[in-house]
Amino acid sequence: MRIVRFIGLAVILCLGLAGQGGAQKRNSAEKQRDDIRKYGAMLMAWSGTQRAIVRDLVETWEKCEDEINRDDKGMFQCEVYQEKVRQTPIENLVRVGLEIKLPKEDMEQLKRDIVAAAADAYAHGKEKGVAK
């Protein structure tokens, strides 16, 4: 939610700072406002998509943890979780794609670590009564 507020504030500030002046300045300001709106919309869309993907991975991980705690032999949710991690591009978990090239196994471990951190944060929020 803070990201959405930050993006909204940035868009409002940029739109307010776009100067007024002659016709050329107005056209330039209008173009700048359009660019800012498009960028803001793109960030908001990415943020919503990222939240949904991380939420789905966290929920699947919690189901996997339940199977581990019950000592289930099938571990179906754990297999589902592993497959989701494999299929999720790293760009869906972090805003900027990594410029460092990692081996496939290391990349999958990095994604698992990101989801584990999100799951820990979610669990902490549930304990505090603020997670939704």
Task: Encode pLDDT of 23-69 as tens digits.
Answer: 566 678 788 888 888 888 887 787 788 888 888 888 898 898 888 88
pLDDT of residue 7: 60
pLDDT of 108 strictly over 80? yes
Please, are residues 93 and 53 in contact by the beta-carbon 8 Å criterion? yes
What total number of domains does the chain contain?
A: 1
- Residue span of the structural domain in which 26 resides: 2-128
Q: In 10 A of CB 79, how many CB atoms? A: 12
Backbone angles phi, psi at 3, to 5 degrees: -65, -45
Give me 65's structure tokens.
């943890």
Mean pLDDT across the stretch 126-131? 70
Rounded-to-10 torsion of CA 124, 45, 32, 99: 70
Name residue, tokens 């209008």.
Answer: 30
pTM of the predicted model, to two decimals? 0.59
